[in-house]
A = this chain, B = another copy of it.
Amino acid sequence: MRTVALAGVGLIGASFALALRRAGFDGRILGVSSPRTVEAALSAGVIDEAAPLEAAVAEADLVYLSQPVLRIVDTLGLLDASIRPGALVTDAGSTKLVIVEAARRSLRRAQFLGGHPMAGKESRGVEAAEASLFEGRPYVLTPSGPEELETPAAVDFQEWIRRIGARLLILDPAEHDRTVAAASHLPQLASTALASALASRPNAARIARTAGPGLLDMTRLALSPFEIWADILATNRGPVGEALDAYIRRLEAIRAELGSGRLEEEFRRAAGFAARLRAPE
């Protein structure tokens, strides 16, 4: 792979570019975004050149779509006329079923392989980018079948995912969406609901003054802006709804046992799972 086109140069796209560079990529990186963003990306040394989508895509071996989910769906509809045969199109969208289906409809002259790096932080934009963002983090690929991982371009891309320090994980697109509904979208809504519920309490000011590190942890995700989450929730409604239902049922069970020793089992199960999340692979 000699030329990479980034469509979207926010936190993820820019961090991917920095990570590639640090891992030894010495080809060209083209950036497609608003004038303000490409200017920031150029002066931060994140991209080599700014280009319009069609021009960037005509030169790229790898087209990396790091935009909000529904923007990725739109972009996929614009690629087929200009893309190079043999190129690989991938994305970093947070839900996969809608995107994989859009690629199947729109993209005939190049291969699409859906992706989702499970990395992020509360700051956004090219200014927040870090070469180490993907290190030790899962990077999910969602082929529709195993043969999609075996094309030369896909093999090369998987190699780069390893080189930037991410842990490659292969999931079916629907399975991915169910998994992130629980692992990522539910925690987001749990945090948003917590902060929103506390903001509406009559003693909100006092709550804010007594906040300890636990509440800070539990409300960090709540800082995320709706503009990212609107697309995610709109394209993963079913699985997120199911995960939310399971969470609400659990809270109701705890409510019913408040102050009783029977909560011990609940705490033990929760602590076991929390410890497992922190166990080295």
CA A81 to CA B248, docked complex, whole Å: 50
**Contact yes or no, A215 B277, CB < 8 A:** yes
**Contact yes or no, B118 A254, CB < 8 A:** no
A219 at the interface (CB under 8 A from B): yes
A43 at the interface (CB under 8 A from B): no
Bitwise, A162-193 to B at CB < 8 A (1) or not (0) is 00000001010001001110111011111111
**Contact yes or no, B221 A214, CB < 8 A:** yes
Contact of A190 among B199, B218, B246 (CB under 8 A): B218
CA A20 to CA B255, docked complex, whole Å: 39
CA A157 to CA B223, docked complex, whole Å: 37
A78 at the interface (CB under 8 A from B): no
Contact of A194 among B210, B247, B264 (CB under 8 A): B247
A55 at the interface (CB under 8 A from B): no
**Contact yes or no, B247 A197, CB < 8 A:** yes
CA A103 to CA B250, docked complex, whole Å: 36
**Contact yes or no, B212 A120, CB < 8 A:** yes
A140 to chain B: closest CB distance in Å? 6
Contact of A277 among B120, B171, B208, B248 (CB under 8 A): B208
The stretch among A1-9, A28-36, A227-235 that forms the contact with chain B is: A227-235
A209 at the interface (CB under 8 A from B): yes
**Contact yes or no, B273 A208, CB < 8 A:** yes
**Contact yes or no, B269 A206, CB < 8 A:** no
CA A277 to CA B218, docked complex, whole Å: 11
**26 residue pairs from A and B, CB less than 8 Å apart:** A118-B210, A120-B213, A138-B210, A169-B209, A171-B206, A178-B203, A179-B203, A179-B210, A183-B206, A183-B215, A192-B270, A196-B250, A196-B270, A196-B273, A197-B250, A198-B273, A199-B272, A208-B276, A214-B220, A216-B277, A219-B274, A220-B274, A222-B270, A222-B274, A223-B271, A247-B251
Closest 7 CB pairs of A and B: A199-B273, A195-B270, A226-B267, A219-B274, A196-B270, A222-B274, A222-B270
